[in-house]
Each structure stands twice: as structure tokens, then as C-alpha cells.
Structure 1
Amino acid sequence: MTKIDLVFRRIDERTADVALELAKRHIRPDAIHIMDDVRPFTRCVEEMLKIEHDCDYVVYLDADCLILEDMRAFIEECDAAYVDAYVSDRFRGRIHCGVHITRIDLVRAMARVTPPVNDLKYALRPESRLRNIAMKPLRLSKQFRNFDILHDHFQAYRHIFQKYALRELRSRTDVQFRRLSSAMSRWNADADADMDFKVAAAAVAYARRHVPADASAAEVHAFISALPEHAQIGLAEIGIAEKGDFTLQDLEAWLERNDHREVYGSGSDRPKVFGLGLSRTGTRSLTSALQMLGWDCSHYPIDEDTYTELANGQYDLTLLKHHDGLTDITCAPYYQQFDKQYPGSKFVLTVRDKDPWLNSCRNHWFNRPAFGETDDPDEEVHFLMRQLLRAAVYGCYTYVPGRFSWVYDRHVAEVKAYFKDRPEDLLVIDVCAGEGFEKLAPFLGVPVPAEPFPHKGSLLTRRVEEARAGAVAAE
């Protein structure tokens, strides 16, 4: 039986007592370790990695997360090294944060990492930074899962202020700045009706005034260490009285008033979604976007069960008992069978201008052979899956421009022809050209999220590919 430890991290969150009670109910941990008011977060991370666990998985839970569904069954069946949970955030919509399901070998690997010195990423996100450092040599990757969890709802004003002063510091990259700006555009509309948004916006402005864009890691760390004092000053400037206590009865009353809310997680009754686009057409971006909308889709799975089932013509996939769909070329040869196996499913065809796509395929296939010798069983399965799908989709094992061009045209034409009498079941979208949630969310019947569409590296990739294509043309 899987043993699960809970590491519960609380400072002065208004929801701390309720969050712990819900965690006991829905995780049913074998042991509980409480990190109580350990600040700054760098110190909290260092202290929690000193805990001697006797378990298979550790769930790290922040006290601003209210778990509303059972998670124990999922963790007991899980074999991933790390699963990040998607939650419903009060200020930013559907994001992954606050609940981290971590296998014990990765926890121990994180504990062996020496914290980097004068490292801004470590100062801003110490847990994430140590995890990424630990995962890299182990060749591990994170997975994502949607759960019905409320994040940053019902928080005290001082906690909101601290959180969003820190959020501003974490949003000083182009991508993160766009995400924060997108969320704030919704706050501005609701600020008069809800003081939470006014406090969050004031915290962002306060951090921008007090921490310059060129601040050093040490200066940022000093500001973060003094966040409670900064929150006291900032709230005094606004002139606002603090909220009272929060109870489980308050939560139950809120849930009853909001019984129409969008519910995510394992209890959601959602159709399967299959991404039919060929590799390098934005399939990773589509997968991330589907996660944000509540669909736990697997991008190009390479596990042994999936390989064996597909290779033997079995389309009732074990993987789809635990996932809401698939994306990338795993779907391309089999979408008609999946359509029959999973009636009522939705299909998304990602497309792209063909010349940049061909150039991207050439770069992507470079140094990715279909055959190789290895003593690693997992890597052997990866080779077998690569051989199967390359043969099934492209009819060749190496990049051949003429063949790829023909396959692309044929695939797009065949998909459109197959769904010509069922336009409500197929969405054609060009995410590389900037199309996103404005098309995808209505197609799936869900609201457009506040967060921008996750164009995973598409802009940088396009610039690199265009530059290379220009260099080739010049030759």
C-alpha cells in the first residue's frame, strides 16, 4: 500500500485551519508534518527537506489551498516522479500551484542539492529551483493534473498583499508579465465590487515602487524577507480593516451559493479530447491549454502499456482510464478508431504554415534516430514507439522533406474530410500564428480563462527557424 506524507505549510493564512481539515479528509495522509510560520520561503524549503520521511510520496500543501475532492486514490495509482496540481485561483483563473505531489526519491534528491548562491531564480522560487536542479540529471519530467481545489480564495488582506507583491517580482519576464497583466485587466473591472482585487493591485504597484527592475538577488531576498512589514505599511496606505476568521461553515455556505461554478477534477463529466496535429504544429501548447481548461491530456506518451496496445491494434487505452485525452502524433494514425472507441469526443487539428513547419521538423528530427542500442528498458520502449509512429504517420524513419510535405497535406485533407458532416466535433486552429483560447474555449463549451494562451516557446522557435531558413536561402 502506498504511504503518503503531508507537509503542510502555513504562515498566517486565514484558511489554514480549514485547509488542514480538508487535507486530512481528502488525502488521508499516513503522517503530517507542519511547517508553521517558517519565513522566508527559502528557509521553509531548507527545513522541510530535512524531514526524515518513511513514505512513497510527499504532498507539499500550502495553507491557501482548499481541497474539495478525494486525492488519495490518484496518488496511490500514481508512478510519476512529480505531479503539479491545477487549481482554481481567485485572481488568475486556472493555474498550477500550491499542491505538489512528489515521489520520495525526488524529495531525497532535492535534499542533496546545495542551494545556489546569488541566484535570483532560487530567491523567487526556491522549491521549484531545487526540484528542477534535482530532476535534470535524473532525466525526470513533471506531470500535471486537474483537481477541484480552490486557491487564494477567502484570504486575509495582509496575505493577499504579501502574495501579490511577491507575484510582481516573479512577473518580470515577458511571459510572466503578460500573465499578470492579463489577470489584472479582470481585476480592474471588479475592483469596486471586491476589495480583494483592489488590495492585490495595490501590492503590485507597491512592489514596483520599492524594488527596481535591476535589483540584485540579495535586494530581492531582503524585500521578500520583510514582506509582513511591507504589507502592514501598504494596507495602512489603503486604509482598510482586516477580515474576520474563516470557518468550514463559511466555506460550505459559499459552495452552496456557488453551486453553478465550473468544477474541475476527477469528478468532471467531460468528453475526451484528441489533438490530431502533427508534431511541431503547436501540440505542446495545445496540451498546456487543455490542462488550463480542465482536461488532463497526455502529450506523446511513451509508456510500455500504450506502445503495446497501439502496436496490437487495441484502442481502449489503459492511459485513457486516467487521462482526458491525447495529443501529438500518437493520435494521427488512430483518430478514426478513437472516435469510435470514445463516442462524443472532441478533436483539435493544429495546423501551421508548411515551410516553417518543415524547417522545424528538420531541426527536431536531427540527432533523434529511430533505432539505437540501450540497456535501459524505458529508453527501449521509447525507440519502439518512435519506430511505430514514424512508420505509421510518415512512412519513413528519417526526415525527408518531400515525403513530409506530402504527408502534411494528406493528413490535413483527410481529417477535414472525415469530419465534414460533423463540424461541431472538429476545431482547426493555428496556435503558432497566435490563435488560442478565443477559439478553443468556446469549442469545448467553457469560459475563456484570464490567463493568456500558453504558446510554448513558439515565438522564440519561430524566430530561430525563420533566421535559419533565411540563412539557408541566402546560401
Structure 2
Amino acid sequence: MATAADYDRLGAWAVMLEPGTDIDRRTRHRTVPLEVLSLGMPRTGTLSMQEALSTLGYATPYHYVSIFANARDADMWLPAFRAKAAGKPFTRREWDQLLGHCGAVTDVPCVYFWRELVAAYPEAKIVLVERDEDKWFASIEGLLEGVLNPVAVYVLRFTDPRWFGRINNTGLQWIEAFFGSTNLAQAKRNARQAYRAHYAGIRATVPKERLLEYELGSGWEPLCEFLGKDVPGVAFPRRNEAKTIQAAFGMVLTKAFRHSLINIAVVVGIGAVVGGAAWRLAV
């Protein structure tokens, strides 16, 4: 049973401790304005930014962890990747379905679609958090190793297709899209160039008056000034993403194994019933 310490340790990742929802986003529409696009690459403080944006009153800021709360989101994310690859990216209508409950977004897979989101929501303000490239690379290596873990890729996404399979497939897609390969060694080789290209593209495209280059550690003031918000009376959230995600991966795999055992037991049980019925008919 999850404890208060588990929730505190996992932060936003604690959504996986809940039963989760089963919402088909394709049936939804926008209910709150999408006002902030936080477009820093993963492992640049995206968990801290999600918490900060939530504290500032933006409804349910979207982060990769959001898919753990509603795995059916993957049923739109995967077509979004395919549509972009085919040169027919989502329009505002589809984004309003998928992200219509969100007042802000951060992290993957959203940041991979930054061009589409910047164009679809011209009223949204852009926040860009960058990190020392060497520190970022050391951090993203751990994330890639977790998502591309052979047990996850070759076993659990098939034995737990409804939850972990959807989540891991989305992870494989953003890695392929950003880094050009789901081969771990190749993805690492391509990571630095992908990082530089991402930031260069945003800086070359987004008007300066619409963009805040925010440095983590600088507190609430520059962010609140840019967004037109009052400074909260609480400390700016500072999540250690490496430790948080390391703890989260352990719980993710535990949950996926538990689902897998149930699924395997069901299949074996059905097989036994069918086999028994067939044997009785044959004798």
C-alpha cells in the first residue's frame, strides 16, 4: 500500500499509484485555455516546471507522467507521431481533444510537437529552460536506458499492453522522433545534436516578446513577471529528476509485472477451460 512518503518521493509521478482513468480523448474538447508552452527538453527541470505552473493556477499541466494517469492518451499520441511523419500534423482541433483539459504543457511528448503547438496556439506564451549540455547528456542517458530497458521493450509492453504497453510505445516513439533511433547506442550518439537543434529551432522561430528563457534556480520573479502572475507565497519547486525518475521506474516495473501476472493467469485459465472442453468433446 502506498504511503505518504511514496507520494512525496515521487511527486507528479505518484499518479501511477492511483487506479487511473480510462478517458478517450478523441471524444473531448477544450475546456480551459492553453496559455503556456514550456518547451525545454526532458531532463531540464520539466517536473519542477510542471509543479510551478500548477502552483500558478494553470489547469493540469501536461507532462509525460500524465500518460501514466490515463494510458489511453497514447491512443492519440501515437497517431500524432504518425501524422507528423506523414506530413499531415494534427490541427488545433486534434490538440484541443488531446490537451483540452490543460492550461500548460511541458516535457515529452508535447515538446516534440513544439512547432505545431506554437502555431496552433498563437496566444500561448513560451517558456524555454535549457541546461548545461554535458549535465543534460549525463541525465538523458539514464532516461534512455530506462525506457529502452530490454525487459520493458521486449516483454512487459506485450504482457501488459493496456497500461505499460501504451506508455512504453509512446516512449519509444518520442525517442525515435527526437534521436532518430530506438537503438540505445545510436540514440545516445544522436542526443547532443538533437538537443542543440531543438533549442536553435525554437529561438529562430518564436518572437522574442513571446519567449522567456528561464533559468532554473532564478525563482518565481522572472517567470511570474513574464506570465503576469503574482508571486506565490511558497518556495519554487525543485525536483531532483534523476532520483525521482529512478524511484518511479522501479514502481512502474512493479506495477507492469503485477498486471502481466494477472494477464498471463487469465490467458492460462482460458486456455485450460478451452482445452478441457475440447478434450471432453473428443472423448
* Bin for the TM-score computed over the shorter chain: 0.5 to 0.7
Seen in structure 2, the aligned counterparts of structure 1 residues 137 and 350 have a Cα distance that, compared at 3 Å, is closer
Match of 1:372 among 132, 154, 167: 154
Name the residue aligned to 2:199. 412
CA deviation profile, 1:350-380 (whole Å, cap 9, x unmatched)? 1000111111111222232173332221211
Q: Tell me, yes or no, if structure 1 residue 381 matches structure 2 residue 162.
A: no
Q: Which has the higher contact order (CA 8 A, sep 6+)?
A: 2
Seen in structure 2, the aligned counterparts of structure 1 residues 452 and 130 have a Cα distance that, compared at 3 Å, is closer
Name the residue aligned to 1:337. 116
Seen in structure 2, the aligned counterparts of structure 1 residues 322 and 365 have a Cα distance that, compared at 3 Å, is same
CA deviation profile, 1:220-267 (whole Å, cap 9, x unmatched)? xxxxxxxxxxxxxxxxxxxxxxxxxxxxxxxxxxxxxxxxxxxxxx99
Name the residue aligned to 2:133. 354
How far apart in 2 are the matches of 1:333 and 1:404? 14
Name the residue aligned to 2:17. 140
Seen in structure 2, the aligned counterparts of structure 1 residues 305 and 326 have a Cα distance that, compared at 3 Å, is farther
How far apart in 1 are the matches of 2:114 and 2:236? 25
Seen in structure 2, the aligned counterparts of structure 1 residues 403 and 443 have a Cα distance that, compared at 3 Å, is same
SS at match of 2:37: strand
The 8 Å contact of residues 394 and 404 in structure 1, kept in 2 or not, is answered as yes
Match of 1:395 among 142, 157, 180: 180
Q: 2:90 is matched by which residue type in structure 1?
A: Q
The 8 Å contact of residues 278 and 332 in structure 1, kept in 2 or not, is answered as yes
The 8 Å contact of residues 307 and 381 in structure 1, kept in 2 or not, is answered as no
Name the residue aligned to 1:254. none
1:294 to partner: Cα distance? 0.7
The 8 Å contact of residues 53 and 104 in structure 2, kept in 1 or not, is answered as no
Q: Tell me, yes or no, if structure 1 residue 304 matches structure 2 residue 74.
A: yes
SS at match of 1:427: strand
Seen in structure 2, the aligned counterparts of structure 1 residues 305 and 425 have a Cα distance that, compared at 3 Å, is farther
Q: TM-score, normalised by structure 2?
A: 0.64
SS at match of 2:181: coil
Q: 2:101 is matched by which residue type in structure 1?
A: H
1:403 to partner: Cα distance? 1.5
CA deviation profile, 1:195-243 (whole Å, cap 9, x unmatched)? xxxxxxxxxxxxxxxxxxxxxxxxxxxxxxxxxxxxxxxxxxxxxxxxx
Name the residue aligned to 1:314. 90
- Structure (1 or 2) with the larger CA radius of gyration: 1
Q: Tell me, yes or no, if structure 1 residue 435 matches structure 2 residue 188.
A: no
How far apart in 2 are the matches of 1:322 and 1:294? 13
1:307 to partner: Cα distance? 1.7
Q: 1:445 is matched by which residue type in structure 2?
A: G
Q: 2:159 is matched by which residue type in structure 1?
A: D
Q: 1:372 is matched by which residue type in structure 2?
A: Y
Seen in structure 2, the aligned counterparts of structure 1 residues 381 and 276 have a Cα distance that, compared at 3 Å, is same
CA deviation profile, 1:118-161 (whole Å, cap 9, x unmatched)? xxxx8xxxxx469889xx99942599xxxxxxxxxxxxxxxxxx
Seen in structure 2, the aligned counterparts of structure 1 residues 129 and 417 have a Cα distance that, compared at 3 Å, is closer
SS at match of 2:194: helix
Seen in structure 2, the aligned counterparts of structure 1 residues 455 and 417 have a Cα distance that, compared at 3 Å, is same
Name the residue aligned to 1:150. none
Seen in structure 2, the aligned counterparts of structure 1 residues 446 and 278 have a Cα distance that, compared at 3 Å, is same
How far apart in 2 are the matches of 1:132 and 1:438? 25
Q: 1:381 is matched by which residue type in structure 2?
A: R
Name the residue aligned to 1:292. 55
CA deviation profile, 1:284-337 (whole Å, cap 9, x unmatched)? 100000000011211114323432441333242223221112211222331121
The 8 Å contact of residues 47 and 241 in structure 2, kept in 1 or not, is answered as no
Structure 1 residues not aligned, in runs of 5+ = 1-109, 114-121, 123-127, 144-265, 462-475
How far apart in 2 are the matches of 1:278 and 1:338? 15
1:347 to partner: Cα distance? 1.5
Seen in structure 2, the aligned counterparts of structure 1 residues 439 and 384 have a Cα distance that, compared at 3 Å, is same
Identity of aligned residues (%): 27
Tell me which protein shows more strand as a share of its residues.
1
How far apart in 2 are the matches of 1:410 and 1:440? 24
The 8 Å contact of residues 43 and 140 in structure 2, kept in 1 or not, is answered as yes
SS at match of 2:209: helix
The 8 Å contact of residues 271 and 346 in structure 1, kept in 2 or not, is answered as no
The 8 Å contact of residues 280 and 361 in structure 1, kept in 2 or not, is answered as yes
Seen in structure 2, the aligned counterparts of structure 1 residues 132 and 338 have a Cα distance that, compared at 3 Å, is closer
Name the residue aligned to 1:279. 42
The 8 Å contact of residues 128 and 214 in structure 2, kept in 1 or not, is answered as yes
Seen in structure 2, the aligned counterparts of structure 1 residues 294 and 132 have a Cα distance that, compared at 3 Å, is closer
Seen in structure 2, the aligned counterparts of structure 1 residues 455 and 279 have a Cα distance that, compared at 3 Å, is same
Name the residue aligned to 1:258. none
1:450 to partner: Cα distance? 1.4
Seen in structure 2, the aligned counterparts of structure 1 residues 137 and 415 have a Cα distance that, compared at 3 Å, is closer
Seen in structure 2, the aligned counterparts of structure 1 residues 453 and 360 have a Cα distance that, compared at 3 Å, is same
